[in-house]
Chain A
Amino acid sequence: EPEVTQTPSHQVTQMGQEVILRCVPISNHLYFYWYRQILGQKVEFLVSFYNNEISEKSEIFDDQFSVERPDGSNFTLKIRSTKLEDSAMYFCASSLSLRGKAKNIQYFGAGTRLSVL
């Protein structure tokens, strides 16, 4: 069964460094998302991406964050200058098509644990 793949599973970085988290969504999906979960807290929406542009973003998604779909398969989240409070589990998700019931079912990756030291 197709699944969303995220790499790496764990990323350790120094404060102020740039990190890129990578995701390979399910191949025929059109909507892509990033969420994060700080330890002990809720899973929070960061950004959604459709048709090669951001369709919605939360207050958390400030200028330090960016997303890109550099080719037909990868979807990346870049944090330009990491802060201690960026330490969290980051989840990528994708969903299917514009039409039909399945469009709003999001399939999640296993997550990347980001540790900022």
Chain B
Amino acid sequence: AQTVTQSQPEMSVQEAETVTLSCTYDTSENNYYLFWYKQPPSRQMILVIRQEAYKQQNATENRFSVNFQKAAKSFSLKISDSQLGDTAMYFCAFMKAPAYSGAGSYQLTFGKGTKLSVIP
């Protein structure tokens, strides 16, 4: 079974500054995907960024980037130039890659989340 740990229940950052949210995971799988989801106060979870484990290059989406360390099983999220709209719960999630298309499902295993507050 997989586990995902987010060790920072709450964090805050000044607007325009950079913040890093940490995530570690435990798995015996070699092929998997990692995600960061954002859940603003309106409650809908939105995908922020996705990383495929077989790719060494860290994923980047505009102000969001990850530091993926496969050997250390670490997957941190860096938010640059923080904006007030970044205030949300951030969830790290793991997905095992199915053996073949259509096999099993693509269930997500989530961490407990980090509540990020961006301060004006």
Contact = CB atoms under 8 A, between A and B. Distances in A.
Contacts of A75: none
A48 B109 CA distance: 13
B42 A48 contact: no
B101 to A, nearest CB: 5
B91 A56 contact: no
B102 interface: yes
Given A104-B33, A108-B45, A109-B44, A45 B109 contact: yes
Contacts, number: 59
Contacts of B95: 104
Interface string A105-116: 111111100000
Interface residues of A, number: 28
A55 B104 contact: yes
B108 A105 contact: no
B110 A105 contact: no
Contacts of B101: 98-99, 103
Interface in B61-76: none
B78 interface: no
Interface residues of B, number: 24
Contact of A56 (B33, B102, B105, B110): B105
Interface string A37-53: 00001111100101000
B105 A48 contact: yes
B43 A33 contact: no
B47 interface: yes
15 contacts: A35-B108, A42-B112, A43-B45, A43-B110, A45-B107, A45-B109, A95-B106, A98-B102, A103-B101, A104-B95, A104-B97, A108-B37, A108-B46, A110-B42, A111-B43
Interface of A: 3, 31, 33, 35, 41-45, 48, 50, 55-56, 58, 89, 91, 95, 98-99, 103-111
Interface of B: 33, 37, 42-47, 50, 91, 95, 97, 101-102, 104-113
